[in-house]
Amino acid sequence: MTRTDDTPPAWDERTQLTTFLDYARDTARAKCDGVSEENARKALLPGSPLMTMSGLVNHLRWVEYYWFRVVFLGEEDQGPWTEDDPDREMRVALDLPLRRLLDEYAGHAAAHRELVAAHSLDARAARPVRDGLHVDLRWILLHLTEETARHNGHLDILREMLDGSTGR
């Protein structure tokens, strides 16, 4: 994986924000390199039965969908979650091949990259967040970088517990 966290290719705000989000996305995918299908579905933390490598990858894919498509663009929510099963994206991942999940995540990231390029960082989300505010695209990029980086820590822990592999 090419490191992109040292310095971005340009110093404007958009490039810095998108470079760090791409790096976090690439890191999540790299954590899954060489993981078997069986290991990708193993839940190792007793208090978090849905926290699997497959579940986390699918969660990251759907979190981006939610923030970009539903909150920012205001599209109808077509996510897999329900009121009765708010973490369903992690549950359904157990029935899908890890490669498919990674490919879908990469494909959606590419589409979201184009969406971000087509809008101002100051553009406001169509839908408000919990406190009623309409966040801007800049905030969404920062939030997704934080969310992805946090789950990369989970992927690190799971990977080390599964096969001893550690990252940088």
pLDDT in tens, 135-146: 999 999 999 999
Check if the beta carbon of residue 157 is closer than 8 Å to that of residue 150.
no
Residue 8 within any structural domain of the chain: no
Residue 168 lies in a domain: no
Q: Which domain range does residue 35 map to?
A: 13-163
**C-alpha dihedral (65, 19, 142, 31), degrees to nearest 10:** 70
Query: Within 10 Å of residue 82's Cβ, how many Cβ atoms?
Result: 9
Q: Which residue has the higher pLDDT, 2 or 127?
A: 127
Task: Give residue 168's pLDDT.
Answer: 65
Percent of the chain scoring above 90 in pLDDT: 87
Domain-embedded: residue 2: no
Q: Could you give the number of structural domains in the chain?
A: 1
Q: Radius of gyration (Cα) for the chain, nearest Å?
A: 16
Evaluated on CA atoms 87, 93, 99, 100, the torsion sign reads negative
Residue 5 has pLDDT above 60, yes or no: no
Residue 44 counted as domain residue: yes
User: For 145-159, what is each residue's pLDDT tens digit?
Assistant: 999 999 999 999 999
Encode pLDDT of 53-95 as tens digits.
999 999 999 999 999 999 999 999 999 999 999 999 999 999 9
Question: pLDDT band for position 115 (50/70/90)?
Answer: very high
Q: Residue 17 burial by CB count (10 A; 0-12/13-18/19+): exposed, middle or buried? A: buried
Q: Which CATH number covers residue 29?
A: 1.20.120.450
Mean pLDDT taken over the chain = 94
CB atoms within 10 A of CB 108: 18
What is the reported pLDDT for 149? Answer: 97
pLDDT at position 167 over 60? yes
Cβ neighbors of 118 (< 8 A, separation 6 or more) are: none
